[in-house]
């Protein structure tokens, strides 16, 4: 049988209870994580919204720079479409090559190597009305980017020299200039061919090029996924030939264009070299 507590013990026990020392204190409510995209953002002339978290060093990326990125991104409905920290891998991309959506390509140039930035990319600078498997059409993109590395030696693209060379126009309206004749055969119908190319908008801005990607582009002549101007023009080339093609919009991406890269009803210029015809 336990001995009864002394009066002094009861007083001490009462004091501890009243003072709250022996009460089990409720755990403080966990503070909700702050949404990093809720703060104010700056806006570029293109409509890209950004907030720089860390400016990085003085090395900046221009066209043709190889960059190493870690990034997390979700759509406006919360769907995660990229999360490189979760995979433990970084992305290696080339600026100005068409490998990135326009908003990302623009945004990473606002910081230096080692920098970090938040981007809110409107649909026209993202995947536009076409979307992707993970991004619904018309979605705004929310991205947090860490620019880990920038190659100090960019790849340069030199436009073909076409002065004093003849322009040939086909019945479809396709125009082409032979910059360097080739001595190999023409590709046959439905041949698989490999080419190097650079695509320019009418003002001279590059919107896509295989040269910066470091490998040629291979496709089948007649493939309906390839624009009509390419299917017609490459079939006219000899292996080893370099040609500049001026492709009217009706033979390119048509009335709708290919937002955000190519506006509606836009004529395109392509410098193309036919490297190889595959059996």
pLDDT, residue 33, reads 61
The list of the chain residues with pLDDT below 50 reads 1-25, 27
pLDDT, residue 12, reads 38
* pLDDT tens per residue across span 219-239: 999 999 999 999 999 999 999
Which residue numbers are catalytic? 197, 207-208, 227, 253, 270
User: Do 155 and 64 touch, CB atoms closer than 8 A?
Assistant: yes
d(CA 153, CA 61): 10
pLDDT, residue 19, reads 40
Q: Which residue reads 């650079």 in tokens?
A: 198
User: Do 222 and 231 touch, CB atoms closer than 8 A?
Assistant: yes
Q: What is the distance between the terminal CA atoms of the chain, rounded to a whole angstrom? A: 100
pLDDT, residue 30, reads 53
> What residue ranges define each of the domains in the chain, with the CATH number in brackets?
42-150 (3.10.50.40), 168-278 (3.10.50.40)
Cis? peptide before 260, omega within 30° of 0: yes
d(CA 15, CA 93): 68
* pLDDT tens per residue across span 73-114: 999 889 999 999 999 989 988 888 778 899 999 999 999 999
pLDDT, residue 21, reads 39
């Amino acid at each position: 049988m336990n001995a009864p507590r002394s009066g002094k013990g009861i007083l001490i026990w009462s004091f501890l209870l009243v003072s709250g020392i022996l009460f089990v204190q409720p755990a403080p409510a966990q503070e909700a994580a702050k949404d990093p995209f809720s703060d104010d953002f700056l806006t570029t002339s293109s409509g890209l919204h950004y907030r720089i978290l860390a400016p990085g060093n003085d090395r900046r990326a221009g066209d043709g720079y190889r960059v190493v990125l870690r990034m997390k991104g979700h759509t406006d409905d919360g769907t995660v479409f990229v999360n490189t920290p979760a995979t433990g891998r970084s992305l290696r991309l080339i600026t100005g090559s068409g490998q990135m959506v326009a908003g990302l390509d623009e945004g990473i140039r606002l910081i230096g190597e080692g920098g970090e930035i938040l981007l809110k990319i409107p649909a026209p600078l993202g995947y536009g009305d076409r979307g992707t498997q993970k991004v619904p059409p018309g979605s705004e993109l929310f991205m947090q980017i860490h620019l880990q590395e920038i190659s100090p030696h960019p790849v340069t693209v030199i436009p073909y020299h076409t002065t004093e060379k003849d322009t040939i126009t086909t019945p479809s309206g396709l125009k082409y200039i032979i910059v360097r004749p080739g001595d190999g055969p023409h590709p046959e119908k439905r041949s698989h061919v490999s080419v190097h190319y650079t695509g320019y908008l009418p003002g001279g801005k590059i919107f896509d090029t295989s040269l910066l990607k470091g490998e040629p582009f291979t496709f089948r002549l007649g493939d309906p996924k390839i624009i009509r101007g390419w299917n017609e023009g490459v079939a006219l080339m000899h292996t080893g030939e370099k040609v500049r093609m001026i492709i009217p919009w009706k033979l390119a991406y048509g009335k709708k264009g290919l937002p955000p890269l190519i506006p509606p009803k836009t004529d395109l210029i392509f410098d193309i070299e036919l490297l190889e015809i595959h059996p």
